[in-house]
Structure 1
């Protein structure tokens, strides 16, 4: 698995498919940072912006792999493991973005003193994790093996991101809303909901990738 993670990381960097979603996220972050925002509300914004950005990035990495390379990798490592590695790499990039955005918020926003500041930061990071899992889940079900056309994937990513952030039953919406309203509220229930959802979406994504690889092998044979 370590070799697969290295391969997917190198593919992401060399293809430069990470640039548009990461720059999109950094742009949303830049326009929101100011000294007037509270730490809790800024962390909530950072988390919300991560949903479409990470979903886009999660879709982009599998789309960057040439079909021949994908077939060779599936034959060598199995049909599903490369997909899990790709999802893990993009999830790690999203986690790095959460940490960087949280650091920027600490430097520019009003931070409560003492233990209150630590509590708000911890709860904000948990909100970021909820949105990270939600964005990863959305991107996982929009990969090329499930949504083949670029236009279809773009539409699914936009609609899915809007629903995750606006629909009141969404764990991402609940976590972000709590961050804005109270500034310090650990999203225990949203985490309990989004975690199995993300696991299920990852499994479906890997299953679809394996099925696509098997179909390609039959057609080649």
Structure 2
């Protein structure tokens, strides 16, 4: 598995497909750093924009691999394990972006009285949104959604819905992070396991679809 992860890291970096979603994230974070928002609100915003970013990163990597290279991986490692590795790398990249964005947020935003609790809840909200975006990217990318237009539609509509629907883990985590800017400090106790369950389910669906596609193409579905 380590070799698969290293392969997909190199593929993502060399393809430069990480640049557009990363620049989008950096731009959205930068325009919100006015020095007046509370730290909790800023970390909540950083987490919210991580949903479309993680989803875009996931699709960017899943469409970057040439069919011949995918066939070689399927023959050597099976179909599902490379799919899991291809989903794990963008998630790790999204978490790295969230960590980098937290540094200027802490430096620029006014520190609240309970800074320790906010610094715990804000990054936790980022983890929830990264997992939610990864789940969206898994179901909005090949082999489930192959067309570029279809994938873009799924990612855009899914990001909006996941951020505005009350039952979404991302929505709950962002609301908790914004509440951390007030007198009340909240940690996303329920949304964090919810996001984990959602990501695991969507990853499993994506890997299962990859296995079926590999079996149809004559590969090993294992």
TM over 0.5: yes
Encode CA deviations 1:1-58: one digit per residue, 9 max, x unaligned: 1110110001001111111111111110110112101100000000000000110110
**Quick one: distance in 1 between partners of 2:22 and 2:180?**
28
2:149 paired with 1:148:
no
After TM superposition, the structure 1 stretch with the greater mean CA deviation from structure 2, 73-82 or 184-193, is 184-193
User: Equivalent residue for 1:65?
Assistant: 65
Residue matched to 2:77: 77
Q: CA deviation at 1:217?
A: 2.1
Matches within 5 A, 1:38-187: 38-113=38-113, 116-183=114-181, 184-187=185-188
Distance 1:197 1:178 in 2: 19
1:211 aligns with 212
Residue 193 (str. 1) matches residue 203 (str. 2): no
Tell me how many residue pairs correspond in the alignment: 216
**Rounded Cα–Cα distance in structure 1 between residues aligned with 2:176 and 2:13:** 35
d(CA) in 2 for partners of 1:175 and 1:6?
A: 31
- Counterparts of 1:30-41 in structure 2, within 5 Å, are 30-41=30-41
What TM-score does the superposition give when structure 2 sets the normalisation length? Answer: 0.94
Q: Deviations over 1:136-181 (max 9, x none)?
A: 0000111110001000000000010000001111111111112223
Moved more, 34-43 or 174-183: 174-183
Correspondence 1:21-36 to 2 at 5 A: 21-36=21-36
Q: CA deviation at 1:185?
A: 0.8
User: How many Å separate the matches in 2 of 1:82 and 1:62?
Assistant: 10
Structure ranking higher in helix proportion:
1
Task: State the TM-score, normalized to the length of structure 1.
Answer: 0.95
How big is the alpha-carbon RMSD for the aligned residues of Structure 1 and Structure 2? Answer: 1.1
- Structure 1 position 6 matched with structure 2 position 9: no
Unaligned regions of 5+ residues in structure 2, if any? none
Please state how far the C-alpha of 1:191 moved relative to its aligned partner: 1.1
In 2: Cα distance, 1:4 partner to 1:216 partner: 21
CA distance in 1, matches of 2:207, 2:215: 12
Quick one: distance in 2 between partners of 1:164 and 1:53? 13
Q: Which runs of 4+ in 1 moved over 6 A?
A: none
